[in-house]
């Protein structure tokens, strides 16, 4: 997953810029709620939805924390396309999924390692594409706004305990703050 972004980038660092870039405050929460009832209107057909699901899970895979599937990111994007997105955004995202699938020669059929390889190559070739940048930002925003993303990936401790001047850093240590600067200025 981390290979999809510049060297040294992290999920937490990217989510800050992603939330700012798409203006999450302007999206009504009701537009993001994934509908699960039968007969609910959907935007993407089965083929496009399978591509969407594979791409979102490749961007935010399940690790020691939930992934995009656990957070129902693909369903939430589909709901946004149905209830909120403009016709241009709908067309851009549909074309984007087609482009990813074409570049990967069928991303859904690939094993996860090959999906990551194909999406990494697509990311390098299309990283400046405004539709692709909006799509990635939306994936991150919807993931971190979901219950699994907000409660299991991110960790907030109101009162983290007594001040200890020296704490051992382990693989389980998570940062409580991060640098959101862009560049060396």
Q: Please report, in tens digits, the pLDDT of each residue of the chain (185 residues total).
A: 434 444 445 665 666 566 555 555 555 544 445 444 445 678 999 999 999 999 999 999 998 889 999 999 999 999 999 988 899 999 999 999 999 999 999 999 999 999 999 999 999 999 889 999 999 999 999 998 888 888 887 765 666 667 667 777 777 766 555 444 444 44
164 within a domain of the structure (yes/no): no
38 within a domain of the structure (yes/no): no
pLDDT of residue 4: 47
Q: Is 17 helix (H, G, I), strand (E, B) or coil?
A: helix
Q: Which residues of 138-161 are buried (b: 16+ CB within 10 A; e: fewer)?
A: bbbbbbbbbebbeeebeeeeeeee
173 within a domain of the structure (yes/no): no
176 within a domain of the structure (yes/no): no
Question: How far is 179 from 116, CA to CA, in rounded Å?
Answer: 27
pLDDT of residue 176: 55
Rounded to 5 degrees, φ, ψ at 5 are -130, 170
161 within a domain of the structure (yes/no): no
Question: Residue 113's domain spans which residues?
Answer: 44-152
159 within a domain of the structure (yes/no): no
* Under 8 Å between Cβ of 112 and 61: yes
Q: What is the total count of domains within the chain? A: 1
Rounded to two decimals, what is the model's pTM?
0.65
110 within a domain of the structure (yes/no): yes
Listing DSSP states for 129-153 in one string gives -HHHHHHHHHHHHHHHHSHHIIIII
33 within a domain of the structure (yes/no): no
Question: How far is 91 from 111, CA to CA, in rounded Å?
Answer: 28
């Amino acid at each position: 997953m981390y290979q999809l972004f510049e060297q040294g980038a992290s999920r937490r660092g990217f989510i800050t810029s992603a939330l700012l870039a798409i203006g999450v405050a302007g999206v009504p929460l009701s537009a993001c709620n994934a509908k699960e009832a039968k007969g609910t209107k959907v935007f993407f057909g089965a083929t496009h939805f399978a591509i969407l699901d594979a791409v979102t899970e490749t961007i935010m895979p399940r690790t020691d924390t939930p992934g995009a599937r656990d957070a129902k990111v693909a369903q939430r994007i589909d709901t946004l396309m149905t209830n909120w997105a403009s016709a241009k955004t709908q067309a851009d995202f549909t074309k984007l999924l087609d482009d990813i699938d074409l570049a990967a020669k069928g991303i859904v059929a690939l094993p996860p390692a090959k999906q990551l390889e194909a999406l990494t190559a697509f990311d390098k070739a299309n990283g400046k594409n405004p539709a692709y940048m909006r799509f990635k930002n939306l994936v991150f925003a919807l993931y971190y706004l979901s219950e699994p993303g907000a409660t299991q990936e991110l960790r907030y401790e109101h009162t983290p305990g007594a001040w200890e001047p020296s704490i051992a850093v382990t693989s389980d240590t998570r940062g409580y703050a991060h640098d959101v600067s862009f560049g060396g200025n």
